Amino acid sequence: MTAEIITIGDEILIGQIIDTNSAWIAKQLKNINISIGQITSVSDSKEAIRQTLQEAAGRADIIIVTGGLGPTKDDITKITAADYFGTHLMRDAKVLAHVEDFFKQRGLEMLEINLQQADILANSEVLFNDVGTAPGMFVRQDNKYYFFIPGVPFEMKFLVTNRILPILSTLDIGQSIWTQNIITAGIGESFLANTIADIEDALPDYIKLAYLPKYGSVRMRLTAIGQDASALRQETEQFANRIVDRVRSHVISTEDLTIEEVIIKEFAKRNLTLSTAESCTGGFLAAQLTAVPGCSQIFTGGTIPYSNKLKMQLLGVTEATLSSYGAVSEQTVIEMANGSKKNFETDYAIATSGIAGPDGGTSEKPVGTVWIAIAGKEKVITKKCQFTPNRQVNIELATAYAYNMLWNLFHTENNFSIE
């Protein structure tokens, strides 16, 4: 069985909001062995919605539609779906009572337009929305399963978890899906593909290998689809083990983790701690780390000493170093890293200093020049990078390089290896 996700709203197409709903829904469906054939975003237009529903029905068994269920004139999903199914809208008494109570409990005035929230497709089963006013709807027609749910993320998640997944879990999916991830760092996508080309060529048709690169790392994902779940897992793991053996020095995890998550996991196992001293990255290193639950096990804190004065006051960088070499220099980031490690009493520390741009560069130190230092248990390593004229890209690249350098030093000093 395959599924298709349709997200409705002009706000997605113009980039006003990012469609995070589809990614979340896809993960939930994968967990019950339902594969996604396509994800489509369409405008708030009857023609576009109707055409997309028709096309999706030709491709998928399960169609999940999010968005366009509100009470305003631009919310036309329900009336378009009624036309598509050849049915009409009817007011549901139970939903109406819920909507009225929703407004009453919050002391809000209920307008005539809000009554429309209780209108549902006459051929549908109501998916009751405990956390909002727009109900979900479930329609089964021509052996296809259609689900219509609000686009508000917390309402969508509630309905998928508590209404849709229980329905889908009763179906005979007819297939199993097994996924194996391999996370690498310090090797580019093309070099990685070339290194394991013979292994990839040996994959059977039912096992697919995808390369998912991001700054500093590449996630390889092996996905197998078939009938026998146990056999799929065994065969996929055999190929994964061959890949790991081939590129072992670059593998940081065989779980679906970011490098920050891996660092937290492995540091926590060894009771190691980390601090940061960020100039050009402006706290982005710390933000990436603290976005991960459990980071407090290893991260004690950091500084953003943008000015030379704060570099001296907070980290002990000497005036002589700054005068002789400048803030963007190997000498300065070494003193920043050592100062952070000393003052925060950590096992490791990261320091960054550079010219993020778009201004501030010179012929000797152009925009995109970044120095990174990692202070470890035994030594300090440094790297000079020359990135781009783009400020945000430089910040993200510097962060990725810094975490890769930290991982490499940790790997060396702690004899880490993938089992």
**Number of other CB atoms surrounding residue 349 within 10 Å:** 28
pLDDT per position as a tens digit, 134-171? 999 999 999 999 999 999 999 999 999 999 999 998 88
Q: Which is higher by pLDDT, 158 or 111? A: 158
CB 377 within 8 A of CB 342: no
pLDDT at 419 over 70: no
Strand-pair partners of 35: 2
Average pLDDT, rounded, for the chain = 94
CB 342 within 8 A of CB 348: no
178: left (phi over 0), alpha (psi -120 to 50) or beta: beta
User: pTM of the full predicted structure?
Assistant: 0.73
User: Among 67, 216, 86, which residue's Cα sits nearest to residue 142?
Assistant: 86
To the nearest 10°, report the CA torsion of 294, 295, 298, 302.
Answer: -160
Which ranges constitute the DSSP H helices of 1-152?
10-13, 21-30, 46-59, 77-85, 93-105
Q: Which long-range contacts (CB under 8 A, 24 or more apart) does 105-114 make?
A: 113/71, 113/72, 114/71
User: Among 293, 292, 291, 315, which residue's Cα sits nearest to residue 305?
Assistant: 315
Split at pLDDT 50, 70, 90, the class of 113 is: confident
Q: What is the Cα–Cα distance from 231 to 237, expressed in whole angstroms?
A: 10
pLDDT per position as a tens digit, 291-301? 999 999 999 99
DSSP state of 121: E
User: Among 144, 194, 153, which residue's Cα sits nearest to residue 171?
Assistant: 144
Taking residues 82-107, report their average pLDDT. 93
Please name the residues in contact with 257: beta carbons below 8 A apart, sequence gap of 6 or more: 183, 265
**Residue-range domains of the chain with CATH:** 1-167 (3.40.980.10), 174-251 (3.30.70.2860), 257-412 (3.90.950.20)
Q: What pLDDT score does 362 carry?
A: 93
- The percent of residues in the chain predicted with pLDDT above 90, rounded, is 83
Strand-pair partners of 219: 183, 212
pLDDT at 417 over 80: no
Q: Which of 110-119, 303-312, 390-399 has the lowest mean pLDDT?
A: 110-119
pLDDT per position as a tens digit, 204-254? 999 999 999 988 889 999 999 998 989 999 999 999 999 999 999 899 999
Q: What pLDDT score does 119 carry?
A: 94
3-state helix, strand, coil in the chain (%, to 5): 45, 25, 30
| CA contacts within 13 A on the Cβ side of 94 | 8
Q: What pLDDT score does 379 carry?
A: 96
Please name the residues in contact with 175: beta carbons below 8 A apart, sequence gap of 6 or more: 1, 33, 35, 225, 226, 227
Q: What pLDDT score does 215 carry?
A: 84
Q: How far apart are the first and last CA of the chain?
A: 35
Q: What is the Cα–Cα distance from 376 to 410, expressed in whole angstroms?
A: 7
What b/e sequence results for 181-199 when a residue is b if at least 16 CB atoms lie within 10 Å of its CB, and e otherwise? bbbbbbeeeeebeeebeeb
Task: State both tokens at 50.
Answer: 């109707």
Taking residues 387-409, report their average pLDDT. 95
pLDDT per position as a tens digit, 334-359? 999 999 999 999 999 999 999 999 99
Tokens 């190691």 — which residue?
272
